[in-house]
Structure 1
Amino acid sequence: MSTYVDGFVIPIPKKNVNAYKKMAKLGCKTWMKHGALAYFECLADDVKVPYGIGFPKMCKTKKNETVVFAFIVYKSKAHRKQVNAKVHKEFGEMPGAENFKMPFDATKMAFGGFKTLIKG
């Protein structure tokens, strides 16, 4: 079975990690409730790489920032569209949603949808 993945790389102030974790727990609960196959939120740990470019360098993080690598797995691109429509509808209907402030600068977030090339 092929899958489809939404991937995110998010620079975040270290002081906001707990607020982000709270938001991510709600995200996990909501995406999974609406049919996502898997939901991961990962905090940078071992990012001083001997080759290539580590995530902090790629994101041009400041000393007071870290990086979140997150991904959501779906059955297909069509399934992703269905799940995300339900999720966005639910979030839009939440009391106070219009005043919610993200615990990171969304303009620095990288995001994309990915076709699965190999699945183990």
Structure 2
Amino acid sequence: MTYVDGFVAAVPTANKEAFRQHADKAAEVFKEHGALQVIECWGDDVPDGEVTSFPMAVKREPNETVIFSWILWPSRDVRNQGMETVMADPRLQPESNPMPFDGKRLIYGGFEVLVDR
């Protein structure tokens, strides 16, 4: 069964193109290591909440935009093996492809797919 890694972060709005380039390079590496699909989304209708929200979760600052991303894998086993090799890939090391945002505020997790229509 397919498996999904999900991500939410706040990216400085001025870094939109740098983020797109960073994400494009990363997507290539993830797909080489077993990912079926990599989706990177730039927020354009992400409201502030009163109790919870994406902006609150990532502590978005006024000059930042929320991104929402996911990686689709064939299975959790493929994801585990793929993530291990992706993290070791020199093309994704900070010297080669620095993150254009604060990685300390990146929210991520792995999810088992329950419904896929």
- What interval of TM-score do these two structures reach, taking the shorter chain for normalisation? 0.7 to 0.9
Tell me the equivalent position of 2:106.
Answer: 109
Structure 1 residue 119 and structure 2 residue 105: aligned?
no
TM-score of the pair, normalised by structure 1: 0.83
Give unmatched runs, 5+ long, in structure 2.
Answer: none
Q: Distance in 2 between matches of 1:53 and 1:119?
A: 26
Poorly superposed stretches of 4+, deviation over 6 Å: 49-52
**Identity percentage over the alignment?**
35
- How do 1:1-120 residues align onto structure 2 when only pairs under 5 Å count? 2-48=1-47, 53-91=52-90, 94=91, 97=93, 99=95, 101-120=98-117
Change (3 A) 1:58 1:89: closer
Query: 1:50 Cα deviation (Å)?
Result: 9.0
Q: Which has the larger radius of gyration?
A: 1
Give unmatched runs, 5+ long, in structure 1.
Answer: none
CA RMSD of aligned residues (A): 2.3
TM-score of the pair, normalised by structure 2: 0.85
Amino acid at match of 2:109: G
Query: 1:97 Cα deviation (Å)?
Result: 3.5
Change (3 A) 1:69 1:98: closer
Match of 2:114, SS state, is coil
